[in-house]
Amino acid sequence: MKAFTTKLLPALAASAVIGGMIIYDAAAADLDKLVEDCAHCHGKDGASTDSKVPIIGGISEQYIIDSMAIYKDRDRPCIEAEYLDGPDKGNKTDMCKIVDELSEGDIEALASFYAGKTFVRAKQEFDPAKAAAGQKLHDNNCEKCHADGGSSPEDDAGVLAGQWMPYLEQTFESYASGERIMPKKMKPKMEKLSDEDKENLIHYYGSLQ
């Protein structure tokens, strides 16, 4: 019996290793497919080239997880948009539909993947005078939660520096209309801003290239 057990243990160990590799490979393949699907709108590694689609590569893991939870709870507008690439190109979908099909594990894997990428700042036109005014507004109102000019992912508050300006404009409009719920700390500051102030802030973030 002892001899049989001695011979069997290495075989079981090898089987466990192989089994682990199979599970790992399957998980990697699943993540590859999820990332490929996201890339059809958000671009390779989350570096969106469409001004209405946010850049998500380099944003913090926690921020992405929180954002997906907000979509699941329908506390953020699910704007219908067309796939920009891939087999569904031209077909319409929205983030609520997409998130509904993702498991908690899927979301965590995607968040980890994109958090590990570099935030590629958008190259876009901006008004220097408005950007200068926006910098003052940011320094006085936003820097505490959006450090380093809104460039730090460690705040878990998204990355504003170099984000697409049309997307930021859309976001500000959603906050103003109440379609998107603002964090409690942000709400009183946003409500004090005029339309001109918001435009200046957007040009400031757009200027950080």
Residue 105 host element (H or E): helix 104-115
Backbone angles phi, psi at 93, to 5 degrees: -155, -175
Q: Is the dihedral of CA 180, 184, 188, 190 positive or negative?
A: negative
For the record, the structure tokens of 6 come out as 């001695």
**Burial environment of residue 56 by CB neighbours within 10 A (0 to 12, 13 to 18, 19 or more):** buried
| Rounded Cα distance, 37 and 84, in Å | 11
| Rounded Cα distance, 79 and 81, in Å | 6
| Rounded Cα distance, 134 and 198, in Å | 8
Supply the pLDDT for residue 46. Answer: 97
Consecutive sets of 10 residues in the chain, 209 residues long: mean pLDDT of each?
Answer: 45 48 54 95 96 97 96 90 90 94 95 97 98 98 95 94 98 92 91 96 98
Domains belonging to the chain, first-starting first, are: 10-115 (1.10.760.10), 128-207 (1.10.760.10)
Supply the pLDDT for residue 118. Answer: 97
pTM, rounded to two decimals: 0.84
b/e map 91-107, b = 16+ CB within 10 Å: eeeebbeebeebeeebb
Q: 163, 205 in Cβ contact below 8 A?
A: yes
Supply the pLDDT for residue 50. Answer: 95
